[in-house]
């Protein structure tokens, strides 16, 4: 059996957390006795270990042995997995008659440091900071500094948080908020489906790549191995083929009796007999269910729920297809090039916190690293997240509440009135999990955001964006959004209200506009830059002085101003003859385009174009 110093070298990376048993509920609050329960567990385990090692309360150093053993148990619970192997290792270490209390104390210190540094070494991700010192002392020094500086910023600014983070009568936001997550992660979906149909020969298999990473695949009764996405896509394609072939003959009692009873063997015998007799009755249904026992059972469930009603049955088949499509969508959101990684642990709880230590450890002493690590390139932003109102959300399993699995940072956005709304960061660190993200985003809206607040909300420039937009907008139905001169407005991820209106007061940049407002009003003489706005159809921009349109913009029926710049936009079939000057660059499709008098082409394929109606043409770059 390995001693403490040796065993530390082989520990798995894990996460530092203070949560123990979490109660169920929609948004249960962390009970005050949680830390007491953690201490009680550690004390009981340590007491039993000392008893097995024959160290009794009569030993003059018993309290020291007890405290150190509690610390070791807690280290294992926080940074790895506490099990019987660990317990036996501690017993063997303490049973050594030559082990003095001083040696045990030093071993405990080294053990903790080794565990933390090993976790840092093996954690996924990167600090993006080269060969910077990642030793335990350096990490602790930087983390403690971030906590102290963050608290100073809080006090100086008088930063406040949603009321749910405050205990009654307290001015300190020390309460953690816990919520239950319905397991709709990619792995949860695949695992549940395989378990449901395990008697049908369906099972999960794990394959290991060259880097030792484990990926999940599905094997059916015929031994075919597929990625989960391909498996469900195959079911969708089969249903599409069935729906597109022919109508069902619901007078076919033989077939529908098989569905009613869930008699797969009877169905396969019926299919075989009809094949021999060249009987094509309900051939499309027979082909759908052939050699797909899981799909057969799903269709049987649909048939029984429909109660023999043909219309309800077909609607149920369509819903089954939609459920498979949803599975594919969730899997796609969590997979890397189609490969679904085996999770290190499930996530069925989320913890929200604004405690300085919880925010400081968002990427430190965890099983993942990022540039916000205590040795990371952007660690300087951590003190700002502590001081300027950010919230951290951690995902974990109720079966192992001592180990966090994923995290999402939630940053505040403020409008001109001083109203604050929160937005879950696009980046998720740790294990990808769609259900975790969905729950976080839902609770941010339900519990933290004021439904009456509206307008343009800007992220504090001191906070690290990590890909998030600098401003977002939130308006009620029939509300008006006004974009002022000089603003850059990114609509990525926004929810468009009904009958909203947009007013542009001057020069600005608009990105990722996916749905047009009911009305769009542009100030005369404005210069507007549109990027990746897929729907600019049937709007009037003629009052603008100039417009720049870039990437994936649909311009059908759009009234354009005198001066227009197109970059990588499909402008085929557009009538630009009413414009005075147009610049066209990049991969623009010009088929059937009517050009104005003055045109500039820059790196565009203009082969075959009739430019005879143009008075002045400038060609630069690599034009064909």
Long-range (24+ apart) CB contacts under 8 A made by 193-200 are: 193/294, 193/327, 194/218, 196/294, 197/293, 197/294, 197/297, 200/264, 200/293, 200/294, 200/297
Query: Token digits for 605?
Result: 């394929």
Please tell me the predicted confidence (pLDDT) of residue 24: 34
DSSP conformation class of 122: H
> Where would I find the H helices in 246-309?
253-261, 264-276, 283-289, 293-306
Query: Taking all residues of the chain, what is their mean pLDDT, rounded to a whole number?
Result: 85
Q: Yes or no: say if 4 and 93 are a contact pair by the CB < 8 Å rule.
A: yes
523-539 burial code (b ≥16 CB/10 A, e <16): beebbbbbbbbeebeeb
| Residues contacting residue 97 through CB under 8 Å, at least 6 positions apart | none
Q: Is the pLDDT of residue 154 over 90?
A: yes
**531 beta partners:** 511, 550
β-pair type (349-353, 177-180): antiparallel
| Length in residues, the chain | 624
Q: Mean pLDDT throughout 512-519?
A: 82
Q: How far is 500 from 496, CA to CA, in rounded Å?
A: 8
CA distance 229 to 190: 9
Q: What is the pLDDT of residue 210?
A: 74
Distance CA 454, CA 473 (A): 7
| Residue 278 clears pLDDT 60, i.e. is over it | yes
pLDDT score of 370 more than 90: yes
User: Within 335-421, where are the H helices?
Assistant: 356-360, 382-387
What band does 246 get if pLDDT is binned at 50, 70 and 90? Answer: low
Q: Is pLDDT of 4 > 50?
A: no
Does position 122 have pLDDT exceeding 80, yes or no?
A: yes
Is pLDDT larger for residue 147 or for residue 183?
147
Average pLDDT over every residue of 557-586: 87
Q: How far apart are CA 210 and CA 214, in angstroms?
A: 10
What is the C-alpha to C-alpha distance for residues 68 and 46, in angstroms, rounded to an integer? 9
Tokens representing 320 are 């089954």
Lowest mean pLDDT among 295-299, 402-406, 554-558, 604-608: 554-558
For residue 16, pLDDT over 60 is answered with no
Asked if 21 and 401 touch (Cβ cutoff 8 Å), the reply is: yes
**Helix 84-95 vs helix 101-122: crossing angle, to nearest 10:** 150
DSSP H or E stretch at residue 215: strand 214-219
End-to-end CA distance of the chain: 74
Q: What are phi and psi of 365, to 5 degrees?
A: 60, 40
pLDDT value at residue 315:
93
User: What does DSSP say about strands 598-602 and 616-620: parallel, antiparallel, or unpaired?
Assistant: parallel
More confident position, 232 or 555: 232
**Mean pLDDT score, 414-436:** 89
Maximum average pLDDT range among 49-53, 413-417, 548-552 = 49-53
pLDDT of the residue at 137: 92
513-516 long-range contacts, Cβ below 8 Å, gap at least 24?
Answer: none
Mean pLDDT of 177-204: 86
Q: Higher model confidence: residue 54 or residue 482?
A: 54
> Quick check: 511 and 491 in contact, CB under 8 A?
yes
Does the pLDDT value for residue 3 go beyond 70? no
Q: Which two tokens stand for residue 222?
A: 């015929």
pLDDT over 70, % of the chain: 92
Confidence of residue 36 (pLDDT cuts 50, 70, 90): low
pLDDT at residue number 477: 58
Lowest mean pLDDT among 17-21, 94-98, 358-362, 477-481: 17-21
* Beta strands 349-353; 124-125: pairing state: unpaired
Tokens 């029926």 correspond to 557
User: How far apart are the C-alpha atoms of 313 and 317, rounded to whole Å?
Assistant: 6
Q: Is pLDDT at 107 greater than 80 in this prediction?
A: yes
DSSP assignment letter at 313: H
Across residues 235-243, what is the average pLDDT?
91
Q: Which residue has the higher pLDDT, 337 or 118?
A: 118
The region of weakest confidence among 229-233, 243-247, 390-394, 520-524 is 243-247
Report the C-alpha gap between 153 and 155 in whole angstroms: 5
Predicted confidence at residue 183, as pLDDT, reads 64
12, pLDDT greater than 50: no
Task: Kindly report, residue by residue over 43-69, the tens digit of the pLDDT.
Answer: 999 999 999 999 999 999 999 999 999
423, 387 in Cβ contact below 8 A? no
Which three-class secondary structure string do you get for 419-488? CEEEEECCCCEECCCHHHHHHHHHHHHHHHCCCCCCEEEEECCCCCCCCCCCEEEECCCCCEEEECCCCE
- Four-CA torsion 541, 547, 553, 555, nearest 10 degrees: 40
- pLDDT at residue 20, as a whole number: 30
Q: Given the structure tokens 């015998």, which residue do they identify?
A: 269
**What number of other Cβ atoms are within 10 A of residue 197's Cβ?**
20
Strand extents, DSSP E, 460-576? 471-474, 480-483, 488-490, 501-504, 508-511, 519-522, 527-531, 546-550, 563-567
Token pair listed for 231: 């498996």
Whether residue 586 is predicted with pLDDT greater than 90 in this model: the reply is no
What pLDDT is attached to residue 519? Answer: 81
Query: Is the separation of the CB atoms in 340 and 215 below 8 Å?
Result: yes
Collapsing DSSP to helix, strand or coil, 149 comes out as: helix
**Using CB atoms within 10 A of its CB, is residue 562 exposed (0-12), middle (13-18) or buried (19+)?**
middle
Q: Are 205 and 217 in contact (CB under 8 A)?
A: yes
């Amino acid at each position: 059996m390995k001693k403490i110093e040796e065993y530390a070298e082989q520990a798995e990376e894990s996460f530092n957390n203070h949560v123990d048993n979490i109660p169920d509920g929609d948004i249960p609050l962390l009970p005050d006795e949680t830390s007491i329960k953690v201490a009680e567990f550690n004390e009981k385990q340590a007491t039993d270990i000392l008893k097995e090692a024959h160290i009794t309360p009569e030993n003059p150093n018993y309290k020291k042995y007890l405290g150190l053993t509690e610390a070791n148990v807690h280290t294992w619970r926080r940074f790895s997995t506490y099990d019987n192997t660990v317990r036996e290792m501690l017993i063997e270490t303490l049973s050594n008659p030559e082990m003095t209390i001083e040696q045990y104390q030093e071993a405990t210190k080294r053990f903790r440091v080794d565990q933390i540094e090993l976790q840092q070494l093996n954690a996924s991700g990167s600090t993006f900071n080269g060969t910077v010192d990642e030793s335990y002392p350096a990490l602790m020094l930087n983390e403690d500094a971030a906590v102290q500086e963050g608290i100073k910023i809080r006090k100086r600014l008088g930063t406040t948080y949603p009321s749910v983070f405050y205990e009654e009568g307290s001015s300190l936001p020390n309460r953690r908020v816990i919520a239950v997550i319905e397991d709709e992660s990619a792995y949860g979906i695949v695992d549940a489906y395989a378990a449901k149909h395990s008697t049908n020969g369906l099972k999960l298999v794990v394959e290991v790549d060259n880097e030792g990473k484990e990926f999940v695949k599905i094997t059916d009764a015929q031994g075919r191995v597929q990625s989960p996405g391909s498996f469900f896509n195959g079911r969708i394609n089969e249903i599409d083929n069935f729906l597109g072939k022919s109508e069902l003959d619901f007078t076919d009692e033989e077939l529908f009796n098989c569905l009613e009873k869930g008699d797969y063997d009877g169905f396969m015998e019926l299919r075989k007999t009809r094949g021999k007799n060249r009987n094509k009755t309900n051939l499309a249904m027979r082909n759908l269910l052939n050699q797909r026992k899981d799909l057969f059972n799903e269709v049987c469930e649909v048939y029984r729920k429909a109660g023999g009603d043909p219309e309800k049955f077909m609607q149920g088949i369509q819903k089954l297809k939609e459920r498979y499509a949803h599975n594919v969508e969730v899997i796609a959101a969590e997979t890397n090039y189609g490969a679904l990684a085996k999770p290190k642990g499930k996530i069925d709880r989320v913890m929200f916190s604004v405690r300085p230590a919880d925010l400081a450890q968002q990427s430190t002493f965890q099983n993942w690293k990022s540039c916000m690590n205590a040795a990371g390139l952007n660690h300087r932003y951590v003190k700002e997240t502590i001081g300027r109102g950010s919230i951290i959300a951690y995902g974990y399993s109720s079966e192992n509440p001592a180990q966090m699995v994923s995290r999402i940072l939630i940053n505040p956005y403020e409008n001109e009135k001083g109203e604050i709304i929160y937005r879950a960061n696009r980046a998720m660190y740790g294990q990808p999990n769609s259900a975790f993200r969905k729950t976080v985003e839902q609770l941010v809206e339900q519990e933290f955001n004021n439904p009456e607040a509206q307008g343009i909300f800007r992220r504090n420039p001191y906070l690290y964006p990590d890909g998030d937009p600098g401003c977002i907008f939130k308006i009620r139905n029939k509300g008006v959004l006004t974009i002022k001169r000089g603003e850059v407005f990114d609509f990525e991820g926004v929810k468009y209200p009904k009958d909203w209106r947009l007013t542009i007061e001057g020069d600005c940049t608009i990105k990722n506009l996916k749905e047009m407002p009911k009305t769009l009003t542009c100030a005369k003489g404005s210069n507007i830059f549109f990027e990746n706005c897929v729907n600019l159809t049937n709007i009037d921009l003629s009052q603008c002085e100039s417009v720049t349109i870039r990437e994936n913009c649909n311009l059908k029926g759009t009234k354009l101003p005198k001066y227009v710049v197109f970059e990588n936009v499909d402008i085929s079939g557009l009538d630009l003859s009413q414009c005075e000057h147009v610049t066209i660059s990049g991969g623009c499709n010009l088929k059937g385009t009517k050009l104005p008098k003055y045109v500039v082409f820059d790196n565009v394929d203009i082969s075959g174009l009739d430019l005879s109606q143009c008075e002045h043409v400038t060609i630069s770059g690599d034009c064909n």
